[in-house]
Homo-oligomer: A and B are copies of this chain.
Amino acid sequence: MATTLNERKEEILRAVVVNYIKTAEPVGSRTVARAYPVGLSSATIRNEMADLEEMGYLVQPHTSAGRVPTQLGYRYYVDNLLEEDQMIMDDGFDISNSLSAEKMREIEQIITYSTRVLSQATNQTSLIMGPQFKKSAFHQIRILPLDDKRGLVVLITDTGFIKNKVINLQQQLSQTELHQVVSYLNQKLYGLTIDQVTTSLINELKRDLFRRLEILEQAFILLEESLKEEKQIRVFLGGTTNILNQPEFRDVDKIRRMLNLFEQEPLLFKILEDNSIEDDIVVKIGSENEFEDIKECTLITGTYRIHDKTLGTVGVLGPTRMDYGRVISVMRYLVNHLNKSLSSS
């Protein structure tokens, strides 16, 4: 791990990684010789590559084939050899442009759009964990009577969430009664995060209010239910079909496993959440990932925040052979953009 390679080995490792990322074919010594600026014969490079193989940075698929980077090889590349792409891409996809063009308003819209941009810019599958509702704080709660039997509960958080739910009211409420209840709730809940609203707190409120009004049983059950339900978080996916373009997913069986994974939101959530603790951008290569299903993939994540509070996580998932430079720089840009556009709304 702590080993450092001499400059020539680094140069060769880089050449192999870059080439393999581009072509998905094992890289031979001759190919590296051509790519390597100083005239160095293929034989010399062969020797160096043999060394790199022994050290665990490269492997051969079979005895007489070129070399392919190992997980360790990619790791070294990412940690020591990587220069990030510049943002205006040569192949024409200009992320800064496509992000600023659309003026977006609602959080959900911003997220959906971001997954699309992210997957298009990276040619990988992108996943974004929506803002964590449960970590948001109450801003206010409102109850709108719809007709004599029904009301609309509206919940607004400091991070701009608006949740609503129709509830059935068993008995009719007068305007004043409703007003009383609502302002009491607002007073008690203001500033608390959704996380902090436990069942016991709700029960306490319920008892408190019962003394004054005996009508709201229904409303409370529904409030409680609504909170429970909203604790789960949506994961937004983009460009899932991009994996079909990767030669490592030539196999229908692998495709199936991958797409199945994509349909399991709770699992995706766990995968992303795992990384959301850390700051900045995290690159997890192959088995560095905890989860069995993506042991052959690389997951690159970043977190976006509002007023220094972590809101959610952005991820790109693809084969370990991935254009690290590009993905990282795109993600860096996107996270910045999200930070800005979410805090301004």
Contact = CB atoms under 8 A, between A and B. Distances in A.
A160 to B, nearest CB: 8
Q: Which 4 A-B pairs have the closest CB atoms?
A: A241-B259, A244-B256, A142-B144, A241-B260
A156 interface: yes
Contacts of A106: 165-166
A289 interface: no
Q: Is the interface of A mostly helix, strand, loop or mixed?
A: mixed
Contacts of A164: 154, 162, 164
Interface in A66-89: none
Contacts of A263: 240-241
Interface in A162-216: 162, 164-166
A146 B250 CA distance: 53
A248 to B, nearest CB: 12
Interface string A83-118: 000000000000000000000011000000000000
A277 interface: no
A140 interface: yes
Contact of A250 (B142, B154, B241, B252): B252
A255 interface: yes
21 contacts: A106-B166, A140-B146, A142-B152, A144-B144, A144-B154, A146-B156, A152-B154, A152-B156, A152-B162, A154-B154, A154-B164, A162-B164, A162-B166, A164-B164, A240-B259, A240-B263, A241-B263, A244-B252, A244-B259, A252-B252, A252-B255
